[in-house]
Amino acid sequence: EAQVTQNPRYLITVTGKKLTVTCSQNMNHEYMSWYRQDPGLGLRQIYYSMNVEVTDKGDVPEGYKVSRKEKRNFPLILESPSPNQTSLYFCASRLTVSTGGLFFGEGSRLTVL
Amino acid sequence: DAKTTQPPSMDCAEGRAANLPCNHSTISGNEYVYWYRQIHSQGPQYIIHGLKNNETNEMASLIITEDRKSSTLILPHATLRDTAVYYCIVRVANRAGANSKLTFGKGITLSVRP
């Protein structure tokens, strides 16, 4: 089954404790991206990646890092989480040239105390 | 990307067609209309997209007016599981090397009642 898998789905952590949210897709998609969703602000793009070893900032990259060492994986790294990073996070992927849409993961709800 | 306007909410009876409107009066000639939905904090789900011709797939139909200033997403036989927030997005089609960023507005909340 074609899917985008995120882990963990739920996480409560404390300020400053480094964490990684993993994202993996099994569709051989070149493009991957991370969004966060907050009440009243909608979905905002954090980072995106066109292909392996190619990443770029989205609209709200501060406090986040990403890496793309393999095509299928695109982890989101919070080196020193803060409470304002409490949010619902979504990973998404798509083919580079396609007439379809983005495939989204099921989301990761992160709470930073 | 052109801005879209959707009513905040609507409802329909289960089994009936749900017609969700979207206005995009500033749409450019090379911009497509995309529809996504999000069911209660789940990941957004792609539904359909089109440029100027009407489109149909297994989930829905998309009707775009001739002047392309508005469109309607049609769920032909709505079920309770179709209750969700539906987003109409207008953007240039994805091309090689481009950031496929989507800008989601507030969408329209569809409530399907038994």
Model confidence over B15-28: pLDDT tens digits? 999 999 999 999 98
Q: What is the largest CA-CA distance in chain B?
A: 46
Model confidence over A46-99: pLDDT tens digits? 999 988 999 999 999 999 999 999 999 999 999 999 999 999 999 999 865 455
Cα–Cα nearest to B62, from B43, B88, B92: B88
Question: What's residue A42's pLDDT?
Answer: 86
Model confidence over B62-89: pLDDT tens digits? 999 999 999 999 999 999 999 999 999 9
Best mutation target among B45, B48, B87, B99 (most A Cβ atoms within 10 Å) is B99
Cα–Cα nearest to B7, from B55, B73, B64: B73
The whole-angstrom separation of Cα A60 and Cα A98 is 26
Measured between CA atoms, the residue of chain B closest to residue A34 is B101
Window 46-75 of A, Cβ < 8 Å to B: 48, 50, 56, 58-59
The whole-angstrom separation of Cα B32 and Cα A12 is 39
Question: What's residue B92's pLDDT?
Answer: 77
Cα–Cα nearest to A92, from A6, A10, A21: A6
Q: Residues B49, B89: contact at Cβ < 8 Å?
A: no
Cα–Cα nearest to A93, from B32, B46, B3: B46
